Amino acid sequence: MKHSNISVFIPHKGCPNCCSFCNQRTISGTVNPPSAAEITELLENACLKLRHPENTEIAFFGGSFTAIDREYMLSLLEAAQPFMLKYKLAGIRISTRPDCIDGDVLTILKKYGVSSIELGAQSMRDDVLKANDRGHTAEDVRKASVLIKEYGFSLGLQMMTGLYLSEPADDIFTAEEIIALKPETVRIYPVVILGGTKLADLYQSGVYRTYSLDEMTELCAMLLEKFEAADIKVIRLGLHASEGVEGDAVGGYYHPAFKELCLGAIFRRQMENLLTEQGSFTVYVSPRCLSMASGQKKCNIDYFKEKGIDIKIKADPRLCGRELRIEKFTQN
Rounded (10°) CA dihedral 209, 214, 218, 224: 90
Draw the binding track, 221-260, toward ligand SF4 (x: CB under 6 A; -: no contact): ----------------------------------------
Minimum CB distance to ligand SF4 smaller for 9 or for 227: 9
**Which among 323, 295, 3 has a CA at the least distance from the CA of 156?**
3
Cα 122 from Cα 128, distance rounded (Å): 9
- In the list 3, 4, 15, 316, the residue contacting ligand SF4 (rule: CB under 6 A) is 15
Instruction: Tell which one of 19, 101, 200, 271 touches ligand SF4 (CB under 6 A).
Output: 19
**Which residues of the chain form beta strands (DSSP E)?**
4-9, 56-61, 91-96, 114-122, 154-161, 185-190, 192-194, 233-237, 249-252, 279-285, 309-315, 324-328
Task: Verify binding: residue 197, ligand SF4, rule CB under 6 A.
Answer: no
Near ligand SF4 by CB under 6 A: residue from 7, 18, 42, 251: 18
Residue whose Cβ sits closest to ligand SF4: 15
Asked if 46 touches ligand SF4 (CB under 6 A), the answer is no
Residue selected from 24, 26, 56, 158 as contacting ligand SF4 according to rule CB under 6 A? 24
Pick the piece of the chain touching ligand SF4 (CB under 6 A) from 15-23, 83-91, 107-115, 272-280: 15-23
Q: Rank residues 56 and 96 by Cβ distance to ligand SF4 and give the closer one.
A: 96
Number of H helices, E strands in the chain: 13, 12
Told to check if 198 binds ligand SF4 by CB under 6 A, we report no
Can residue 77 be called a binding residue for ligand SF4 (CB under 6 A)?
no
Q: What angle do CA 325, 327, 329 make, to 5 degrees?
A: 155
Task: Tally Cβ neighbours within 10 Å of residue 332.
Answer: 2
Nearer Cβ to ligand SF4 (18/275): 18
Q: What is the CA radius of gyration of the chain?
A: 22
Interface residues for ligand SF4 in 271-310 (CB under 6 A)? none
Packing angle of the helix pair 213-229, 258-274 (nearest 10 deg): 80
Output the smallest distance, CB 118 to ligand SF4, in A: 11
Question: Maximum Cα–Cα distance for the chain, whole Å?
Answer: 78
User: In this structure, are strands 192-194 and 154-161 parallel, antiparallel, or unpaired?
Assistant: unpaired
For residue 95, give every residue at least 6 positions away whose Cβ sits within 8 Å of its Cβ, in sequence order, or none: 59, 60, 61, 62, 64, 65, 117, 118, 119, 120, 156, 158
Which residue from 8, 22, 84, 239 is in contact with ligand SF4, where contact means CB under 6 A?
Answer: 22
Smallest gap from Cβ 216 to ligand SF4, in A, equals: 20
Burial class (CB in 10 A: 0-12, 13-18, 19+), 54: exposed
CB of 17 to ligand SF4, least distance (A): 6
Find the part of the chain contacting ligand SF4 (CB under 6 A) among 12-20, 146-154, 165-173, 221-229. 12-20
Nearer Cβ to ligand SF4 (12/255) = 12
Which of the stretches 17-25, 186-194, 251-259, 309-317 binds ligand SF4 when contact is defined by CB under 6 A?
Answer: 17-25
Minimum Å gap between C-beta 64 and ligand SF4 is 5
Q: Where is 220: in which H helix or E strand?
A: helix 213-229
Q: Is 63 in the site for ligand SF4 (CB under 6 A)?
A: yes
User: Cα(245)–Cα(146) distance, rounded to whole angstroms?
Assistant: 33
Exactly one of 97, 125, 187, 259 binds ligand SF4 (CB under 6 A); that residue is 97
120 lies in the binding site for ligand SF4 (CB under 6 A):
yes
Binding residues for ligand SF4 (CB under 6 A): 12, 15, 18-19, 22, 24, 63-64, 97, 120
